[in-house]
Structure 1
Amino acid sequence: MTPRHSGVRDVISYNWPQYVAGAATVAAAALLASRLPRALRPLAWTGSAAALTLLCTATAASWYVYDRSGLYTYDWLEALLPRVPSAYVVVGTGLDEVSGPLAARWPQARRTAIDLYDQALTGEGSLRRARRRVPPPAHAASGRPQALPHPSHSADTVLLVFAAHELRRAEDRELLFTECARLLRPGGTLLVAEHLRDAANTAVFGPGAWHFLPRQEWLRLAAHAELKHGAEHRFAGLITAFAFTKDRK
């Protein structure tokens, strides 16, 4: 199996500017507290404590999700896919931690990886840092949201795991879902796994949860591509996986 480059240390290394900014906020608020009038000091201490708490909860959540939840065993796929696919496509937007484990899990299946990374579409600095550390698979083909380089009706399953939210423009996500539907055979499944912009993720990631998308957006995108909402699975308390199916025609 291809070694998995993940875990809380990788999350920190990909997002170190945010961690530096958070630590600086903690220190600055604490320093300010000692220089403010006595009546205002509790406000500064509260701000420092809140920033420190957010750093700790975000780090703890990342550790649990990426190191302890079983996310990368992919056992949770059994709750969403009715059978092992004979052919599947992994679509990534810069960081592909899916292709290696699935190649070991489904050794008989025909596999394809497509990389959509484009700084104009996915401009996050964390993706650039992650991509330098974990290059795309050697067999990955470059694609665009509106043009996935793969034949129509050729895959039982297309997987978007922590990928589609990196396309920040709604129109790019719509194009991508439409293309994923084109690749699927009748009865095939588009599997999407993401953090959601919801109460649980906001509680642990704070403003960082705004980077995620709400559940309704994923349902809207599936409907736009004429895919039906099938199974849905929540795990680790913070990740939601959707199975969207293509009509049998």
Structure 2
Amino acid sequence: MEVRRRKFQGVLNILSFNRHFYIAGIGILAFIIISHQIFEWSDLLYMTIIAAFLYGLIMPLIISAYVYDFSGYYTFHWLKNCSIDKENVKQILNINAGFDETSYIIKDNFPQADLKVFDFYDAKRHTEPAIIRARKVSLMYPDTQQIVTDSIPINEQSADLIFLLSAAHEIRSHEEKILFLKECHRVCKTHGKIIMVEHLRDFPNFLAFSVGFTHFFSKTTWKNAFENAGFTSCKEVKFTPFMSIFIYSL
């Protein structure tokens, strides 16, 4: 099945799923503008605050449009940097947090492989309003299975590839991350790979998302989680200054 994306679908998704932040931000901005009309305070301070708020509201949308709509993220051309022998890939897992825009694309790229899709969303643990909204519009891949993060229902050493695409950061607990990655380790073949794509809690993403960059995790945090889960080999490929592709193997 070919999935055609609308123009600016990525940035529109970000705006829709995180609209509570934008409504709150616009409300605070309106309050600042009104208060400046009522009270006397420095024009320089006023303009600085206005500029900071506008930056915080607009820059994440610009970066999101760049990453998700113009960088080729959904064309999967970046797979060529992951050293994958497609002919030998027989079993693929795509694991998401309740919002799936990639399973049909993965299947198109690996038509000969069996693709299993798992959703680890847990309403009690994963309470972000953005996830709840995203789930309502997500295109469900056939036979997608709901799982818990510490139990992937397939046999040991079954998967050639496991995709974690902009999803694993929704596991907020570090201990839960390690348990989840241990399960990925259990089901991954000896020469299999995990392909994880994530924003990082780093300086470029701070410039892009300001305080919103704390929603992501640092490279050190991910390194610690994967090492504790038993993975020994890692290759990082930068996909735009704001996204990293991590290729982990046993």
Please state if 1:179 is matched with 2:183. yes
Rounded to whole Å, the distance in 2 between the matches of 1:188 and 1:228 is 12
Give structure 2 stretches of 5+ with no counterpart: none
1:25: Cα distance to partner?
2.2
Q: Is the 8 A contact 1:200 1:238 kept in 2?
A: yes
Match of 2:74 in 1: 72
Rounded to whole Å, the distance in 1 between the matches of 2:201 and 2:74 is 22
Please state if 1:210 is matched with 2:214. yes
1:37: Cα distance to partner?
2.0
Rounded to whole Å, the distance in 2 between the matches of 1:11 and 1:42 is 32
Rounded to whole Å, the distance in 2 between the matches of 1:196 and 1:52 is 23
Residue 151 of structure 1: which of 152, 155, 164 is its match? 155
Residue 130 of structure 2: which of 126, 138, 149 is its match? 126
Q: Is the 8 A contact 2:101 2:139 kept in 1?
A: no
Q: Deviations over 1:21-74 (max 9, x none)?
A: 122222222222222224x34323321221111211111001111100000111
1:242: Cα distance to partner?
0.3
Question: Per the alignment, in what secondary structure is the counterpart of residue 205 of structure 1?
Answer: helix
1:135: Cα distance to partner?
4.4
Give structure 1 stretches of 5+ with no counterpart: none
Residue 85 of structure 2: which of 71, 76, 83 is its match? 83
Q: Is the 8 A contact 1:30 1:45 kept in 2?
A: no
Question: Per the alignment, in what secondary structure is the counterpart of residue 141 of structure 2?
Answer: coil
Question: Per the alignment, in what secondary structure is the counterpart of residue 197 of structure 2?
Answer: strand
Match of 1:19 in 2: 22
Match of 1:2 in 2: 3
Q: Deviations over 1:161-188 (max 9, x none)?
A: 1111001111111111000011101011
Question: Per the alignment, in what secondary structure is the counterpart of residue 153 of structure 2?
Answer: coil
Q: What amino acid does structure 1 have at the position aligned with 2:232?
A: K
Q: TM-score, normalised by structure 1?
A: 0.94
Rounded to whole Å, the distance in 2 between the matches of 1:77 and 1:188 is 15
Q: Which moved more, 1:188-197 or 1:222-231?
A: 222-231
Q: Which moved more, 1:65-74 or 1:222-231?
A: 222-231
Q: Is the 8 A contact 2:29 2:50 kept in 1?
A: yes
Match of 1:109 in 2: 113
Question: Per the alignment, in what secondary structure is the counterpart of residue 107 of structure 1?
Answer: coil
Q: What amino acid does structure 2 have at the position aligned with 1:77?
A: L
Q: TM-score, normalised by structure 2?
A: 0.93
Rounded to whole Å, the distance in 2 between the matches of 1:48 and 1:25 is 10
Please state if 1:168 is matched with 2:172. yes
Q: Is the 8 A contact 1:25 1:48 kept in 2?
A: no
Q: What amino acid does structure 2 have at the position aligned with 1:64?
A: Y
Q: Deviations over 1:192-224 (max 9, x none)?
A: 110000000000100100000001111111101
Match of 1:33 in 2: 36
Identity %: 29
Distance 1:154 1:93, change over 3 A: same
Q: Is the 8 A contact 2:92 2:159 kept in 1?
A: yes
Q: Is the 8 A contact 1:33 1:42 kept in 2?
A: no
Residue 100 of structure 1: which of 104, 126, 130 is its match? 104
| Alignment root-mean-square deviation, CA | 1.4
Rounded to whole Å, the distance in 1 between the matches of 2:113 and 2:43 is 62
Question: Per the alignment, in what secondary structure is the counterpart of residue 7 of structure 1?
Answer: helix
1:94: Cα distance to partner?
1.0
